[in-house]
Every structure is written in C-alpha cells, then in structure tokens.
Amino acid sequence: MAEPLDPYMFTGCPPVAAPIRIGDKWTAKIIRCLELGPRRFNELQTVLRGITPKVLTESLRAMERDGLLTRTAYAEIPPRVEYALTDLGRSLLEPMNAGCEWSRKHLAELVRARESWHAAL
C-alpha cells in the first residue's frame, strides 16, 4: 500500500488562483504569438481564430496584471497599442517548449488511450 498523502502538501499554495495561468485556453497561444516580438491586438486576433475580442481583451489584461506582458499605447492617430512579453513571460517559453516536446513524443499514445477509453463506454 502506498504511503498516505501529506495533509500539508499544498500549504503555501494559493487557495483559489493558480500562480500562473498557462492552463487556460488562450494564454500559451498568446505567449507563442508574442515570442518573436511585440504585436498589435488585430494581429493577435487574426492568428487566434475563434477568440472573441472580449475574451482576447480579458486574457491580455489578466496577463498584464500577472506581469507576463506589457501593453504600450502610442499617442498617434490612429491610436496604436502593442503587447510584448516581459522577462517573466519569456521565462515560460522553456517549460512550454518542454511541454510541446512531451506532446510530440507522446501524442499518439494519448490519442490511443482516449480512443480506448471512449470505446469502453
């Protein structure tokens, strides 16, 4: 029998919000879009097919709040706003690359497991 779980194993972890938000649907994709440099809202929306302006705005604001990106508004006509990764946001690229590599190596196994599970229902 396995050792019992430590009842204090999550002590110090925030009770409600995860410290990073890359598990949602859009954050990792936005990080990838900004990997090579600043981008404008419409550039992001074009690539992120299916995201509504409202959800993109909410995601960008949350990422800015969490220190993952900066929003720079230029006093031009028409107004121009660019989003860019901060050093903190860039620090997520390495673990994201590891996750992508894991996916490349194990995607076929994952798909087979899902198909097996669905077939057993």
CATH number reported for the structural domain that contains residue 46 in this entry: 1.10.10.10
* Chain segment 21-58, per-residue pLDDT in tens: 666 789 989 999 999 999 999 999 999 988 999 999 99
The answer to whether the beta carbons of residues 83 and 54 sit under 8 Å apart is no
Residue 121 lies in a domain: no
Residue 106 lies in a domain: no
Helix (H, G, I), strand (E, B) or coil at 35: coil
- Domain count for the chain: 1
Which domain covers residue 50, as residue numbers? 27-90
At residue 14, does pLDDT exceed 70?
A: no
If we measure between CA atoms, which residue out of 22, 82, 26, 83 comes closest to residue 49?
Answer: 26
